[in-house]
Chains A and B, each alone.
Chain A
Amino acid sequence: MRTWISSATVMLILLALIVPPASVGQTACQLNVPTLKLGVQGIASGAHADYGRQINMGATLAIEEINAAGGILGCKLEMRFMDDENKPATGVKNARFLVNEWGAHFLYGTDSSGIAMALGPVLQELKRIQFFTHAATHRLTEELVYDKKIKEIVRVSAPVYQDAIAAWVFKDNPEIKRWATIGADYEYGYATWAIFKDVMKKSRPDAEFVGAAWAPFLTLDFSSQIAAVMATNPDAIIATPWAGEAVTLLRQALLMGVFDKVQAWFQAMGGSVDVLEGISREVQDNRFKGKLWATARYIHNWPNTQINRSFVERFQKRWSRLPNYSAETTYSAIYITKLALEKAKSLDTDSVLAALNGMRIPTPAGLRVYRSEDHQFVYNVPAGRVVWDAKYPIPVLGDLVVIPANEYWRSPPFTAVPVGK
């Protein structure tokens, strides 16, 4: 009995510990809240932690700037960043904490498509808009927004459609006909390959898709995947492992002499700052022989506009690093919120969504245009050859190919993508 008394006492104390304190204080904020609370989450631990850090840095910079300029409608912004550990259950728990416990008015971030898909229905329950700034699966906006009408989802970053730009980059190269993929062994990899083939077939009916090898998340040894696709004698390879895995894959491809045999290698998210940092020495030594191409969701050296140059300069000054795409998309998402709130003058979800309708907003990545059917912001991101430019401390994308996103992005009404191996 005494054991249970002690156990019950411990548990009651623990329950008391997590009861939230009452909020105090009022301000003259026109939105009638003490502060405007922005909940942000991303991967902040493990192999892909740099993406979460960049989300955090982008959000922090935007909030510091907006607060220094007086806030939004007189409301100061407050941010809370949380690590989603790249686990859907943690992402869902974080969202519940941020909204129900901390009182977030808007949510931002999320790197993983799996987490994004898990979050969608929960956002409906929480009645909060989340601005997704990295998760790329087409299903987020096509299935959850367009089909299931979950209005609380808005995506600011380019989805998986962006990777199909590879089809446009090489459509006028008749010598590149046989394509293979080394794909991420999850939906992102399958969707990229499916959409790329679809776009490629339209512009190059003679294209052949000769091989596919799939690498599970956190693969360290890609030799079997590289050997498998090289056995199909491809002219070019499109690869979707990202972050540190992309660096490992490219280094192992060099070791296996792939760049002596293929005519082009398209690394879908190879324009990301962390990947470019990782292959810096190899690019300086021209080991890819100018055959490595890439894109991203934003690249810091394009567009050459005042707003982008200024953003990159301020970001570097604040963080001593170049901005990754997840930093830019989160930074822009907060400015999109600002514009929407200034128009809506309300925190009500429907009012904010109405304010997003027709929005065209200049951002560091260029002009973003809101597509109301699927709550997707559309903007152009170029692809380019990975080159060394003495102006930058890391490789950059050069020989840029800029194609209007509407040429190769999917648009409503949507038909199902035949996703699979």
Chain B
Amino acid sequence: MTYLRHAHIMSGPLTAALVAALIVLPLLAGNYLTYLTIQILILSLFALGFNLLFGYTGLLSFGQAGFYAVGAYICAKILLVQPSLLLGVLGGTVAAAVVAVLLGALSVRHTRIYFSMLTLAFGMMIYSVAWKWRDVTGGDDGLVGIPRAPLKILGIASISLSTIEHYYYFVLVVVLLGVFFMYRLVNSPFGLSLQAIRDGETRAPFVGMSVTTHRLLAFTIAGLYAGLAGALLPPLENTVTPVMAHWTTSADPILATLLGGIYVFSGPIVGGALFIIIKDLIVRVTVHWSIVLGTVVIILVMGFRGGVAGIVAGMVARPRAAPAPAVASK
């Protein structure tokens, strides 16, 4: 547990330096790097939510892409009718949370492979709905021409986000807030309870914890984060397609988290950056990127057990760090 708690992500000069670097990035970098950083920020948010379930609660979900797609589709539908970015993003996020509550109620009583298979099935059900309900979702063609609507604040101000730089700052603010709330959450009594449930499912009820309620809350928050991440995508890409809900999309936050580190708060963020940058570098070199990316991921996952951030953290803080949650909880 020391591992999870000692990562003070929101404090320190280096945190400030990184945030400052992210703030000035569009001024120094080109449009593409700005665009790529938006993708990293979105995947980081998606993976952070996923890791609340996986790393902190011990539940491996293969269906997070379903909530990601719900957030994206609802946001897109709202933006196509009412061009207000805040409304679209909020609508997508809330819708994903509602779907997560409903599906979570059916899933969280199960654990291990049963939970994973249930979430996979629910995720693919959402994928099927996205594919088949053509009148609403556009079917296989998806929804196109989604505007990057202005940011309207209570009818007082309207900020144009038509340029990639402006949209970057909107995403950056949302993601930083998301990271901050997640950090507070995992270090709150609720977050510590989740870790207690993860490490001692049988013991937790004896101290008065409702395992099901805690898991359902974690599932809903993870779904909400997935929905928020998904809702940030349509204004960036102008399009939403069913592949967003496919299980292969669910693999993205899993890979990002494994690459970065499950037991380090910033692991999913580092992993998200690694995943997108490695892929981006590989596709520049070869069209056979999937073989090379697969090889790199295998090497990283096998060579850096505990994730890149986890290994580096372990090297830096070796005397104080507990190597594994099972040992730490004893």
Contacts and interface: CB of A to CB of B under 8 A. Distances in A.
Contact of A216 (B29, B131, B244, B265): B131
Given A18-B33, A18-B277, A81 B237 contact: no
A18 B237 CA distance: 21
Interface stretch (A82-90, A270-278, A406-414): A82-90
Given A3-B264, A6-B312, A100 B141 contact: no
B290 A8 contact: no
A121 B145 contact: yes
Q: Do most interface residues of chain A lie in helix, strand or loop, or is the interface mixed?
A: helix
Given A100-B31, A114-B140, 6 more contacts: A4-B9, A4-B266, A83-B287, A100-B30, A117-B144, A118-B241
B184 interface: no
B93 to A, nearest CB: 20
Nearest to A89: B237
A99 B289 CA distance: 20
A92 to B, nearest CB: 5
Interface in A1-35: 1-12, 14-15, 17-20
23 contacts: A2-B313, A2-B316, A3-B312, A3-B313, A3-B316, A7-B260, A8-B17, A10-B309, A10-B312, A11-B18, A18-B33, A44-B287, A56-B287, A83-B287, A83-B289, A87-B243, A92-B238, A101-B32, A101-B33, A114-B140, A117-B141, A118-B239, A121-B145
A172 B270 CA distance: 66
B317 interface: yes
Contacts of B18: 8, 11-12
B237 A4 contact: no
B14 A4 contact: yes
Contact of A89 (B239, B289, B290, B312): B239
Contacts of A187: 139-141
A319 interface: no
B273 A11 contact: yes
Contacts, number: 162
Interface in A95-121: 96-97, 99-101, 113-114, 117-118, 120-121
B12 A7 contact: no
Interface in A396-421: 420-421
A101 B266 CA distance: 28
Contacts of A421: 134
Contact of A3 (B35, B142, B309): B309
Contacts of A117: 141, 144-145, 239
B6 interface: yes
A186 B141 contact: yes
A186 B139 contact: yes
Nearest to A94: B283
A347 interface: no
B203 interface: no
B239 A96 contact: no
B11 interface: yes
A137 to B, nearest CB: 8
Contacts of B239: 88-89, 92, 114, 117-118
Contacts of A4: 7-9, 12, 14-15, 266
Nearest to B236: A92
Contact of A7 (B6, B30, B313): B313
Interface centre among B39, B238, B280, B284 (most CB of A within 10 A): B238
B231 to A, nearest CB: 15
B277 to A, nearest CB: 5
A118 B32 CA distance: 17
A185 interface: yes
Given A82-B287, A92-B238, A186-B141, A7 B269 contact: yes
A114 B237 CA distance: 12
Interface in A366-421: 420-421
A125 to B, nearest CB: 8
Contact of A15 (B21, B145, B260): B21
A312 to B, nearest CB: 25
Could you say which interface size class chain B belongs to? 35 or more
A20 B280 CA distance: 12
Contact of B12 (A1, A99, A217): A1
B141 A8 contact: no
A45 B280 CA distance: 16
Contacts of B243: 87, 89
Contacts of A92: 237-239
A4 B10 CA distance: 9
B6 A88 contact: no
Contacts of A81: 287
Given A3-B316, A186-B141, A118 B30 contact: no
B126 to A, nearest CB: 16
B281 interface: yes
A122 interface: yes
Interface in B240-289: 241, 243-244, 260, 264-267, 269-270, 273-274, 277, 280-281, 283-284, 287-289
Contact of A118 (B144, B280, B290, B308): B144
Interface string B1-41: 00000111101101101100100010001111101110100
A9 B313 CA distance: 11
A16 to B, nearest CB: 10
A3 B317 contact: yes
A390 B32 CA distance: 51
Interface centre among A6, A56, A96, A118 (most CB of B within 10 A): A6
Interface centre among B11, B31, B144, B267 (most CB of A within 10 A): B144
A96 B283 CA distance: 13
Contact of A6 (B6, B283, B287, B316): B316
A7 B264 contact: yes
Contacts of A186: 139-141
A7 B241 contact: no
In order of increasing CB-CB distance, the 6 nearest A-B pairs are A100-B32, A118-B239, A3-B313, A186-B140, A6-B312, A101-B32
A14 B273 contact: yes
